[in-house]
A and B are shown apart, each in its own frame.
Chain A
Amino acid sequence: MQTETGKLMNGAEILLECMAREGVDVFFGYPGGVTLPFYDALYDSHIKHILVRHEENAAFAAGGYARATGKTGVCCATSGPGATNLVTGLVDAMMDSIPVVAITGQVHSKLIGSDAFQEADTFGITRPATKHNFMVKTLAELPQILHEAFYIASSGRPGPVLVDIPKDVFQARGHYVPVGAIHLPGYKVFTEGHAGQIKRAAELIREAERPLVYAGGGIVAAGASAELRELVDLANLPAVTTLMALGALPASHPNYISMPGMHGSYAANMALTECDLLIALGTRFDDRVTGHLPSFARHARVIHVDIDPAEVGKNRTPDIPIVGDVKRVLQKMVKALHETEAELGKTKNGPARQAWLQKINDWKTEFPYDRSRAEGEIKPQHLMDEIDRLSGGQAIVTADVGQHQMWAAQLIRFNEPRLWVNSGGLGAMGFGLPSAIGAQMARPDKLVFSISGDGGFQMSLPELSTIASNQLPIKIIVMNNGVLGMVRQWQTLFYNNRLSSIQLDCFPDAEKLAAAYGFKGRTIDKPWQLAEALEEAVREPGPYLLNVKVTPDENVYPMVPAGGAINEMVMGPAKPVEAGA
């Protein structure tokens, strides 16, 4: 509304005006000296602020909000320690291409460079932690920079953008001058994809005998799930989705295999190894997926679609590189497939394709993920299986980092994108709980499980207070194995079981801990308690802390030893399965 913009405002009010125009309804932060003028203006604003208990968690919560919605998440911190506390969350968003805008206060511009109280070189520190960052010098440039920040964060390959604002800019008075256009001549966003290459890709898809879709987080970022499904259905393609793309194709889809990689399924890794055409969509051939790179998909020609030209050819040279928005490219690819079908009749490799799908189905039935249960104790797999049952493919699940994360990724099935929230690229412990805050704020209608290990849970434990004070009905599940399980697993398997600094003693009494924050909690350790306890947690209208004591020495399988070829999986305790067996 132009009229609103006519009044004299200070920088803080102008910042809020910009945020409102960007559609920000809620953000996560922590105030301090130099952001006092901003928090003062916030007092009169309709934009909701969630006071977290540590700035790192503001960044994680903003990431959780963005991951659950696709909208840009916003976090805010004061100068110096506030800004440095944000860094891990920014790098997390960077690694997983999550749109986040971080606002940091800076000392008065006259004091910059003088080692003033709570001064840190935020602009310098966060340069490699962000997609781009800005330091605002005058009030006049604030709106332009802020809109540029939101545009950069959310367009192209999304990522975090930080805007550092000195205190005097918050205090300066001026008018909000609407920003007409964003002009970033060097910011190249390639969306359309090369028409000729897309046509060639369609031909390869039609001709292949053993095609496989390898879909990554780019599908989720681009909102291209429907297009992915169209491709899979049209050409009857089997598909794997990476850790960043669980739910991008419904787990219930008959052509869906599962997650590939270090802890991926046997079928997914074997399909990757034996396919003759790899259709890589919005994915980056991460080392946790590929294992030993020269062995990865070694019989396959590769079509690689990604919006980031630097990802295409980075780890694997594709036969058909396509730089573009995977949603647009898939639309065109489906169209091209329809055309080649019309031109050349149905695929001539019908029998070979059928045999391939059959082979994959055989792998799926012969080597499913382990969902086994035990008599006297709760196995981690049992826990995830019960959560899977309660979710029915519909709940939001945020995970921390470690064994529980891998079991959750294997065993909990997602039928939609943006339900599975995890720190994939950075693998930042402490992510699970605060990202659930962001996700639940974004999706109040949704059942949200936050699953953490007993280690990672304690990294973000203060956020129980944020959850309680906002009465967020998050179901906080601690998979408590008493150890830093994933580290223990590596020590067991690769360091002669010399268990060093992995014991987590003195875990607090969950019932008392939750009670101290004013909500319900409980500890269980018997398999027959599990279903009933989870149901009780879900029934509870408020937050609930469920501490589940599980078998302490269980390992995650399958496992591809670091640097190994992904068909050389260890399937369980001392029972290796070789390829081609």
Chain B
Amino acid sequence: MLQTISILVENKPGALLRVTGVLSARGYNIESLTVAKTLDPQLSRMTIVVDVEDRIRTQVIKQINKLINVLQATDMTEIPSVIRELVLVRVRCGQEARTAVLKEAEIFHSRVVDSSTDGFAIEATGDPEKLDEFIEVMRTYGEIDVARSGAIAMSLETKKLRLQPPVAAPVAVQAT
């Protein structure tokens, strides 16, 4: 089953690789991955969708949480959350199909972002399955190009972030 993991991570070089390394070292293929800065520019929020065997799902979360740069990793599949994705679809269609395409776009609450003689570019957001359907529908009208953002997720729980307090650095020079 697909697992959506939301990760709050320090924005440091190599941090992304450390996280994906936990998955790749176990031979898991990442379905999608998004990452961007948070309100605090020193932190990034990462959302990973990955197909992990059920019996090691918690292990994967624990291993990611163990990374020094990771503040918190949460399995969004287990808790109340919203998961959304954005897709851009360019559909090439003949004059006769234009009205139908626009109608479908409306049904999916999507937005036309470009229109030309050979078709449209349409932007849609929604949960990933809904977007799968949208793409399937658009496909019936002609040749399409697709770019998907990958899922982003937000927890609807109020969970407190547990952070490690600072510790004192060594000050004394050892006697020689």
Interface residues of A (CB under 8 A from B): 1, 4, 17, 20-25, 46, 123-124, 127-128, 131-133, 135, 147, 150-152, 178-189, 308-310, 313-314
Contacts and interface: CB of A to CB of B under 8 A. Distances in A.
B69 A22 contact: no
Contacts of A123: 13-14
B168 interface: yes
Nearest to A24: B174
A186 B71 contact: yes
A179 B169 contact: yes
A147 B21 CA distance: 25
Contacts of B170: 21-23, 147, 150
Interface string B164-176: 1011111111101
A179 B59 CA distance: 35
Contacts of B71: 185-186
Interface string B87-115: 00000000000000000000000000000
6 contacts: A123-B13, A127-B17, A185-B163, A186-B164, A310-B59, A310-B63
A17 B170 CA distance: 11
A186 B70 contact: yes
A360 to B, nearest CB: 33
A308 B67 CA distance: 12
B169 A310 contact: no
Contacts of B10: 185-186
Interface in B24-45: 25
Given A25-B174, A123-B14, A309 B168 contact: no
Given A23-B174, A186-B67, A188-B65, A147 B169 contact: yes
Nearest to B9: A186
Interface string B54-67: 00001100110111
Interface in B109-143: none
B166 A187 contact: no
B67 to A, nearest CB: 7
B14 A127 contact: yes
Contacts of B174: 20-21, 23-25
Nearest to A180: B169
A103 to B, nearest CB: 17
A17 B87 CA distance: 54
B148 interface: no
Interface of B: 9-10, 13-14, 17-18, 21, 25, 58-59, 62-63, 65-72, 162-164, 166-174, 176
B169 A184 contact: no
Nearest to B17: A127
Contact of A186 (B69, B172, B173): B69
Contact of B172 (A21, A184, A188, A308): A21
Contacts of B65: 188, 309-310
B77 to A, nearest CB: 18
A124 B24 CA distance: 14
B68 A181 contact: no
Contacts of A24: 174
A147 B18 CA distance: 21
A313 B58 contact: yes
A4 B17 contact: no
A188 B59 CA distance: 16
Quick one: which of A131, A181, A182, A310 has the most chain B CB within 10 A?
A: A310
Given A4-B173, A21-B172, A181 B167 contact: yes
Contacts of B59: 310, 313-314
A165 to B, nearest CB: 15
Closest 5 CB pairs of A and B: A310-B62, A183-B166, A181-B166, A179-B169, A185-B163
Contacts of B63: 310
Give the most central of A21, A123, A188: most B CB within 10 Å.
A188
Contacts of A310: 59, 62-63, 65-66
Given A123-B13, A186-B71, 6 more contacts: A131-B68, A181-B169, A182-B166, A186-B67, A188-B65, A314-B59
A314 B56 CA distance: 8
A21 B173 contact: yes
Given A127-B17, A186-B164, A189-B164, A132 B68 contact: yes
Contacts of A313: 58-59
Contact of B164 (A17, A20, A22, A184): A184
A40 to B, nearest CB: 20
A151 B9 CA distance: 20
B57 to A, nearest CB: 12
B169 A309 contact: no
B124 to A, nearest CB: 35
Nearest to A189: B164
A187 B169 contact: no
A403 B52 CA distance: 38
